[in-house]
Structure 1
Amino acid sequence: MRFTVFGATGGIGREVVRQALDAGHEVTAVVRDPAGLGVTGERLEVVRADLTAAGPLRAAVTGRDAVLSGLGARRRKDAGVAARLTRTVLTALEAEGVRRLLVVSAAPVGPPAEGDGALDRTMRSLVSAALKDVYADLREMEAELARSATDWTAVRPPRLQNKPLTCSYRTSVGGFPPRGRFIGRADVAHAMLTMVTDAGTVKQGVGVAY
């Protein structure tokens, strides 16, 4: 398959690129600074772009089977970038007729897990309050997806960790796995690639956690 990856220098985006290449796919990585990618391969194309306008992105997405995005705020002061940059990506996709789009959101954006205890509910409330601007940005991003013509999926992980790929995690379409507190970035990337061809995740938020 042919993929385009936005946010490819981030922890999840880089893993998406690496795992897709390892699986034999063709990958176009769209980055601001190619030096930050740290991944090479014969089937890898690197495109430098700053995502301020959709026009220059159209060539990077045309003819792709799916686009995967790790775009989002890396710090609280960056809140707002997820919705803004995703809006630009959506414009490029719709101009080129590319329908499949998967993005990284966050667990607090979706509904709480059924059966969570008091500790998990309290932790979720505290985290949501501390990062309210970041989550407001992600909610707006998901609203942009819902208004679009794309076959989107918003992958919603909890606290991210730098751990080796396990391929062992739980998912919940439209919900969140009970007591799911952590997940490694590599496994989020694996989940995204797995969901590319999963029709049951189209136009859905999907919780993913260990």
Structure 2
Amino acid sequence: MKLTVFGATGGIGKEIVRQALDAGHEVTAVVRDPARLPVTGDRLEVFRADLGDPGVLRAAVAGRDAVLSGLGARGRGDAGVAVKLTRTVLAALEAEEVRRLLVVSAAPVGPEPEGDGLVDRAVRGIVSAVLKDIYADLREMEAAVARSATDWTVVRPPRLQDKPVSARYRTVVGGFPARGRFIGRADVAHAMLGMIGDAGTVKQGVGVAY
């Protein structure tokens, strides 16, 4: 497949690029600073662009089978960046009539998992309070994606870890795995790549966790 990856220098984005190349896909990695992308490959195109202009991004998404985005705030000071940048990406996709889009959000933005105990609910409440601005940004981003003409999937991981791919995680379409507290960035990338051709995830939020 021909794929475009936004947020390609982030923890999940780098893993999407790496794993997609390993699987034999052609990948366009959209970055502001190519020096921050350590991944190389014969089927990799590094597309340098400012994400503020959808017209510039059209060339990066034209003719692609799917677009995957790891765009989001790196900290509380960046709250607002997810919806702002994603709207630009959506404008480029719609202009080029590219349909398949997968984006990363966060577990607290989606529905609470069934069967969680008091401890899990308490922890989730504390985290949501501390990071409320980031989660508000992601909710706006999800709403923008849901209003778009794309065949979207929103992937919602819990706390992220730097771990190698295990491919041993749980997914729940329209919900979240009970007692799912962690997942590695590499496994989030693995899950997203696996969902590209999964019709059951189209126009759905998908919780993913160990």
TM-score, L = length of structure 2? 1.00
Structure 2 gaps of 5+ residues are none
Please give the alpha-carbon distance, in whole angstroms, between the structure 1 residues aligned to 2:194 and 2:148: 22
Please give the alpha-carbon distance, in whole angstroms, between the structure 2 residues aligned to 1:3 and 1:79: 27
Deviant stretches of 4+, over 2 Å: none
Please give the alpha-carbon distance, in whole angstroms, between the structure 2 residues aligned to 1:86 and 1:52: 10
* Partner of residue 131, structure 1: 131
Q: Deviations over 1:132-171 (max 9, x none)?
A: 0000000000000111000000000000000011000000
* Partner of residue 67, structure 2: 67
Please tell me the residue identity of whatever aligns with 2:36: G
1:46 aligns with 2:46: yes
Please tell me the residue identity of whatever aligns with 1:59: A
Offset at 1:61? 0.2
* Partner of residue 195, structure 2: 195
CA-atom RMSD in angstroms: 0.3
Please tell me the residue identity of whatever aligns with 1:198: D
Q: Deviations over 1:8-66 (max 9, x none)?
A: 00000000000000000000000000000000000000000110110000010000000
Please give the alpha-carbon distance, in whole angstroms, between the structure 2 residues aligned to 1:123 and 1:155: 21
* Partner of residue 107, structure 2: 107
* Partner of residue 152, structure 1: 152
Offset at 1:4? 0.1
Offset at 1:208? 0.2
Where 2:191 maps in the other structure, the secondary structure is helix
Please give the alpha-carbon distance, in whole angstroms, between the structure 2 residues aligned to 1:93 and 1:105: 19
What percentage of residue pairs aligned between the two structures are identical? 80
Please give the alpha-carbon distance, in whole angstroms, between the structure 2 residues aligned to 1:124 and 1:12: 22
Please give the alpha-carbon distance, in whole angstroms, between the structure 1 residues aligned to 2:143 and 2:22: 33
* Partner of residue 24, structure 1: 24
Please tell me the residue identity of whatever aligns with 1:15: E
TM-score, L = length of structure 1? 1.00
Structure 1 gaps of 5+ residues are none
Please give the alpha-carbon distance, in whole angstroms, between the structure 2 residues aligned to 1:35 and 1:136: 31
Kindly tell me the number of residue pairs found equivalent between the two proteins.
210
* Partner of residue 56, structure 1: 56
Please give the alpha-carbon distance, in whole angstroms, between the structure 2 residues aligned to 1:145 and 1:202: 12
Please give the alpha-carbon distance, in whole angstroms, between the structure 2 residues aligned to 1:195 and 1:76: 29
Please tell me the residue identity of whatever aligns with 2:81: V
Please give the alpha-carbon distance, in whole angstroms, between the structure 1 residues aligned to 2:53 and 2:113: 37
* Partner of residue 179, structure 2: 179
Please tell me the residue identity of whatever aligns with 1:69: S
